[in-house]
Amino acid sequence: MNIIENISTIKNKIHNAEIKSNRPENSVKLMAVSKFHTVEEIKKAIDAGQILFGENRVQEACQKFEELYKYNPNIELHIIGNLQLNKVKKAVKIASCIQSVDRLELIEEIEKQCEKINKNINIFFEIHTAEDSKSGYTSEEDLFESLDLISKGKFPHIKTKGLMTMAPFTNDENLIRKSFVTLKNIQQNAKLKFPNLDLEELSMGMSGDFEIAIEEGSTLVRVGTAIFGERNYNK
């Protein structure tokens, strides 16, 4: 795998997708999803100028990123995987953003742990838009309950950034697109209802579907396999 070449190829594809969909240049950020890949591989991506990384599992993220922050203090890490309450303390220490916020009790725990270490953190709300994903808010009502409490200032260490979703794993482009359109619609509704919250970002699109996601308004694509190659889950 030539990680440096892969990043350059993906950046070109992002650029072309921006042009194709009349989006401003550089309006889409690239996250390198480095789960299951080694510190050495991630360093190659950093050497290629990559700053933003995503990890699913807190334990793994801590093991790798304590060293990687020393390698380059400017890198940024987002947690993008399902988060258990007992992992929140470590998650808020190692990451600048939790993208997989999917329930109120998680927000309460994030606030509690951030208050303890006096740190502000960014969050995305993960939305369940496709059947084969397990995680995410499943109703707009639950999402709006969380947004309402945040907009009233109940969680001063938490700063909202936007919404996140995973499209279904399918070759059916219409189904994938539908999932992205759903996220965009929920974003529009949420922005109207909570104009004082920052909900501008749409984190959607992975290796197989990021160009479609950009056409549908993605501002941040999360790409793993197309940068680092297949993951070895048996390691």
Ligand X SMILES: *Cc1c(COP(=O)(O)O)cnc(C)c1O
Q: Which residues bind ligand X (CB under 6 A)?
A: 33, 35, 56, 80-81, 166, 206-208, 222-226
Instruction: Return all residues near 73 (Cβ < 8 A) that are at least 6 apart.
Output: none
Instruction: Return all residues near 144 (Cβ < 8 A) that are at least 6 apart.
Output: 190, 193, 194
Give me the least distance between CB of 142 and ligand X, in Å please: 20
Cβ atoms of residues 218 and 202 within 8 Å: yes
Give me the least distance between CB of 233 and ligand X, in Å please: 11
Rg of the chain over Cα atoms, rounded to whole angstroms, equals: 17
Residue nearest ligand X, Cβ-based = 224
Q: C-alpha angle with apex 140: 137 to 146, nearest 5 degrees?
A: 70
Q: CA torsion sign, 169 to 201 to 119 to 36?
A: positive
- What does the alpha-carbon distance between residue 154 and residue 151 come to, in Å, rounded to a whole number? 8
Give me the least distance between CB of 17 and ligand X, in Å please: 15
- What does the alpha-carbon distance between residue 114 and residue 96 come to, in Å, rounded to a whole number? 11
> Cβ closer to ligand X: 81 or 162?
81
> Cβ closer to ligand X: 54 or 110?
54
> Cβ closer to ligand X: 91 or 166?
166
Largest CA distance in the chain: 48
Give me the least distance between CB of 194 and ligand X, in Å please: 24
> Cβ closer to ligand X: 96 or 225?
225
Give me the least distance between CB of 222 and ligand X, in Å please: 4
> Cβ closer to ligand X: 57 or 90?
57
